[in-house]
Amino acid sequence: MPRTYLRVPSTGRRVEPFPSDVTDMLNEQRRKFIDKFGREPGEGDPVFFDPNADTPQPMKLSHGDEREILAAMT
């Protein structure tokens, strides 16, 4: 079966699409962002944000959290 690619409009670079579970997770994060801040995420806004912050701030992870996330991804 041939591979499908997405093309980045600004650069023309080809990239493979994300697997559906990753796309679902990113869509869920977008929904949470809109629910929390009342707007679409913009350029420079974090995908994973601190849910307790009043403005979009990157989520702070401890060293143990990073290891747990990496282990779940492999």
Q: Is 23 a member of any domain?
A: yes
- Per residue in 10-62, pLDDT (tens digit) is 787 877 777 778 888 888 999 999 999 999 999 899 988 998 999 999 988 76
Domain range holding 63? 6-73
Residue 4 has pLDDT above 90, yes or no: no
Domain count, the chain: 1
- Closest listed residue to residue 48, CA positions, set 39, 60, 36, 37: 60
Q: Is 1 a member of any domain?
A: no
Strands (E), the chain: 6-7, 14-15
